[in-house]
Amino acid sequence: MNRWSTLCGAALSLCLCMPAHGDGGRRITAIVFEGNDVTRDEVLAREVGVQVGEAYDAQAVERSRLEIQSLGLFRSVEAVVEPDGEGVRLIFRVREKWYWQVYPRLSANSDGQNSIGLETRLSNLWGLNHSLRLIGRSRDTREDDRGRDVSVRASYVAPFLLGERDSLSVGVAHNVIPFEGAALYDETIDEVEAVATRIFGLPDRPSQGWSVGLGTVFRDHSVSDESVADSFGVTQALVAELGYRNEHDWIFSNEGRVFSSRLEVAKDDLLSDYSYTILRAGWEEGVLVGVRAHQQLSFGASLGLANNAVDRRALFSLGGSEGLKGYERRAFEGNSYYLAHVDFMRPMIWDSLRWTVGLELGNAGWDTRDLFDSPNLSLNLGLRFRPRRLVNFELELGFAIPLSGDDPRFYGGKVDRH
């Protein structure tokens, strides 16, 4: 009996002495950021879910470290705890990426289609995680009645510019297409867009969760000679966006779920010369599998629907790098499309270099009733390279096999991540 009393007493004493959160209940006396020569403290502090005066919780600190890393601005993020009197001093130590990228945008295929351009991306502007993207491009589509079209685009995204939850994005575009058929004229399309977004956040994760955006896009379509071609005029469309983000950035891979949708509506009796509707939606999910770091299964789907009684040209297309890589560029086009994919990726020599095998299924056309009658399949094999030092930059190179029986095609280019 005495032995059982002794054992029970020892167990009770041990339970009473155990720390509630793994560190003796010591309080956080200070939160400090180091290594953020460009990034402002307020950007990092926004992602931290612990506060000065709270009891130290190792799991909560790790969650905060991962949220800072998921901003995508840093090569590494380390959480360091130092004794500070009767409490602890919490240090988040970061190593920043390169925030200025300039690179060519080149593409070509066996059909003679080619594109040459330049992209400049400035990330983390003002140290506030704002981004500016500039793209200039000249393209030859090898269509009989067209010359080389030229386009220039610029976009600026400012998270939390309008408040603790509200962000702003703006963009402009200028496109010129020369027509060289029976009639010679230039078609010009100019666009200006602004969207304000409210991010509702997740617990201790303000940059994640559901988001709602509202804005407008102005579009002006004109031709150099209205005696040979019609000018569609101008539209002022309402833009509504709904998104969801619950994603972690592990530097060389991503885990989690991202959903995005956008509805664009213009009415001919409301500041517009004609009516149109465009709906886009997409969902992506990444799952880390197995014990190898950055071994990942990625899958998702996207769709688009459009209704435009004036412009009869296709708004959506599949084939080549735009989806269904095993087929020639713009092999399928129309005002509706769907595309689904599944990819498996595993690191090779370095974590930054992964081989990938994937399958794409999709179609594009003019009548939604025919979209699912003859789906197209593409089997893709390739390599992906994600440099540690660059923000939101990943390259893919490989070859794709169309399961329709055509010859394999090589593909390559930048992977646009959300």
How high is the pLDDT of residue 18?
36
249 near 69, Cβ under 8 Å? yes
**In the prediction, which pLDDT does 139 show?**
84
Query: Mean pLDDT per segment of 10 residues, for the chain of length 418 residues?
Result: 43 36 74 98 97 95 97 97 94 98 79 83 98 94 82 98 95 94 89 98 94 98 88 95 97 97 95 95 97 96 90 86 88 95 97 98 91 93 96 94 88 78
Confidence at residue 313, expressed as pLDDT on a 0 to 100 scale? 80
Place of tokens 């804005």: 215
Q: What is the number of other CB atoms lying within 10 angstroms of the CB of residue 55?
A: 17
Output the pTM of the full model: 0.88
Q: How many CB atoms lie under 10 A from the CB of residue 305?
A: 17
In the prediction, which pLDDT does 214 show?
99
- Render 165-184 in DSSP notation, one character per residue: SEEEEEEEEEEEEEEESSSE
* pLDDT at residue 147, rounded to an integer: 85
- The CATH code of domain 273-418 reads 2.40.160.50
- For residue 390, the model assigns a pLDDT of 96
pLDDT for 109: 64
Q: Look at residue 21 in the predicted model and tell me its pLDDT.
A: 41
φ, ψ for residue 66, nearest 5 deg:
-70, -35
Torsion of Cα atoms, 319 then 325 then 328 then 333, to 10°: -10
Give, as one character, the DSSP assignment of residue 68: H
State in words which class domain 16-96 has.
alpha beta
Domains 16-96 and 273-418 share a fold: no
pLDDT of residue 19: 38
Domain boundaries, the chain: 16-96, 98-231, 273-418
Question: Nearest Cα to 219, choosing from 261, 162, 174?
Answer: 174
Tell me the Ramachandran region of residue 73: left when phi exceeds 0, alpha when psi lies from -120 to 50, beta otherwise. Answer: alpha
